[in-house]
Chain A
Amino acid sequence: MPNWRTTATAQPATAIDVEEIARIIDAHIHLEGPLLPLLHALQEAFGYVPEHAHAPICDALNITRAEMHGVITFYHDFREKPAGRHVLKIYRAEACQSVGGAAMADALLAKLGLDWHGTTANGAVTIEPVYCLGLRARRDGR
Chain B
Amino acid sequence: MKIYVPMDSAAKALGAEDVVAALRAAAPEAQIVRTGSRGMIWLEPLVEVEIDGVRHGYGPVTVGDVAEILDGSSAKALGPVEDLEWMKRQTRLTFARVGVIDPLSLSDYSAHGGLIGLRRAIGMSGAEIVAEVTNSGLRGRGGAGFPTGIKWKTVHEAEAPQKYIVCNADEGDSGTFADRMIMEGDPFTLIEGMAIAGLGVGATRGYVYLRSEYPDAIAVMRRAVEIARGAGVLGSDVLGSGRAFDMEIRVGAGAYVCGEETSLLNSLEGKRGVVRAKPPLPALEGFLGRPTVVNNVISLATVPVIFEKGAQTYADFGLGRSRGTVTLQIAGNVARGGLFETAFGITLGEVVNDLGGGTLTGRPIKAVQVGGPLGAYVPVSNFDVPLGYEELDAKGGLLGHAGLVVFDDHADMLQMARFAMEFCAVESCGKCTPCRIGAVRGVETIDRIAAGDGAAIPLLTDLCETMKDGSLCALGGFTPFPVMSALTHFPNDFATQKEAAE
Question: Could you list which residues of chain A lie within 8 angstroms of chain B, going by C-beta atoms?
Answer: 31-37, 39-40, 61, 67, 70-71, 74-78, 93-99, 130-142
Which stretch of B88-96, B404-412, B434-442 is in the interface?
B404-412
B162 nearest CB across to chain A (Å): 10
* CB < 8 Å neighbour of A137 from B171, B270, B330, B416: B330
Those of B373-408 within 8 Å (CB) of chain A? 373, 405-408
Q: A75-B253, A130-B213, A139-B42 are in contact. Are A94 and B175 (CB under 8 A)?
A: yes
Q: Which residue of B lies closest to A68 (CB)?
A: B270
* CB < 8 Å neighbour of A40 from B42, B214, B251: B251
Contacts of A32 in B (CB 8 A): 205, 269, 287-288
Q: Which residue of B lies closest to A35 (CB)?
A: B270
Contact status B329-A132, CB under 8 Å: no
Contact status A95-B174, CB under 8 Å: yes
CA distance A131 to B420 in the complex (A): 12
Is B267 among interface residues, defined by CB-CB distance under 8 A?
A: yes
A65 nearest CB across to chain B (Å): 14
Interface flags for B247-287 (1: CB within 8 Å of A; 0: not) read 01011111110000000000111111110000000000001
Supply 20 A–B pairs (Cβ within 8 Å), ascending by A. A32-B269, A33-B269, A36-B251, A36-B268, A37-B250, A70-B272, A74-B429, A75-B254, A76-B254, A93-B175, A93-B423, A97-B419, A98-B332, A135-B9, A136-B332, A137-B331, A137-B334, A138-B41, A139-B336, A141-B360
5 further A-B contacts with Cβ under 8 Å, apart from A39-B253, A134-B171, A134-B177, are A36-B267, A94-B416, A130-B254, A131-B423, A139-B336
Q: A70-B272, A138-B44 are in contact. Are A36 and B253 (CB under 8 A)?
A: yes
A17 nearest CB across to chain B (Å): 22
CA distance A137 to B405 in the complex (A): 9
Contact status B270-A34, CB under 8 Å: yes
Is B172 among interface residues, defined by CB-CB distance under 8 A?
A: yes
CA distance A61 to B369 in the complex (A): 43
CA distance A32 to B288 in the complex (A): 8
* CB < 8 Å neighbour of B337 from A61, A70, A94, A138: A138
Q: A76-B254, A138-B337 are in contact. Are A132 and B175 (CB under 8 A)?
A: yes
Those of B298-326 within 8 Å (CB) of chain A? none
Contact status B213-A139, CB under 8 Å: no
Interface flags for B331-347 (1: CB within 8 Å of A; 0: not) read 11111111100000000
Contacts of B334 in A (CB 8 A): 137
CA distance A93 to B407 in the complex (A): 13
Interface size of B by CB at 8 A reads: 63
CA distance A94 to B174 in the complex (A): 6
* CB < 8 Å neighbour of B14 from A98, A99, A133, A138: A138
Is B472 among interface residues, defined by CB-CB distance under 8 A?
A: no
B142 nearest CB across to chain A (Å): 15
Contacts of B180 in A (CB 8 A): 134
Q: Which residue of A lies closest to B269 (CB)?
A: A33
Contact status A99-B270, CB under 8 Å: no
Is B30 among interface residues, defined by CB-CB distance under 8 A?
A: no
CA distance A94 to B423 in the complex (A): 10
Q: Which residue of B lies closest to A63 (CB)?
A: B270
CA distance A94 to B366 in the complex (A): 14
Those of B167-181 within 8 Å (CB) of chain A? 171-177, 179-180
Is B144 among interface residues, defined by CB-CB distance under 8 A?
A: no
A118 nearest CB across to chain B (Å): 16
* CB < 8 Å neighbour of B405 from A34, A94, A142: A94
Q: A131-B423, A133-B213, A141-B360 are in contact. Are A71 and B14 (CB under 8 A)?
A: no
Contact status A36-B405, CB under 8 Å: no
CA distance A39 to B429 in the complex (A): 19
* CB < 8 Å neighbour of B256 from A70, A131, A138: A131
Contact status B268-A93, CB under 8 Å: no
Those of B16-60 within 8 Å (CB) of chain A? 41-42, 44, 60
CA distance A140 to B360 in the complex (A): 9
Contact status A134-B405, CB under 8 Å: no
Q: Which residue of A lies closest to B422 (CB)?
A: A92
Q: Which residue of B lies closest to A96 (CB)?
A: B174
Is B220 among interface residues, defined by CB-CB distance under 8 A?
A: no
Is B212 among interface residues, defined by CB-CB distance under 8 A?
A: yes
Q: Which residue of A lies closest to B249 (CB)?
A: A37
Contact status B174-A136, CB under 8 Å: yes
CA distance A36 to B265 in the complex (A): 12
Contacts of A61 in B (CB 8 A): 270
Contact status B337-A132, CB under 8 Å: no
CA distance A90 to B250 in the complex (A): 24
Is B10 among interface residues, defined by CB-CB distance under 8 A?
A: yes
A45 nearest CB across to chain B (Å): 15
Is B13 among interface residues, defined by CB-CB distance under 8 A?
A: yes
Contact status B360-A75, CB under 8 Å: no
Contact status A78-B407, CB under 8 Å: no
Contact status B406-A131, CB under 8 Å: no
Contact status B333-A98, CB under 8 Å: yes
B236 nearest CB across to chain A (Å): 17
Contact status B411-A98, CB under 8 Å: yes
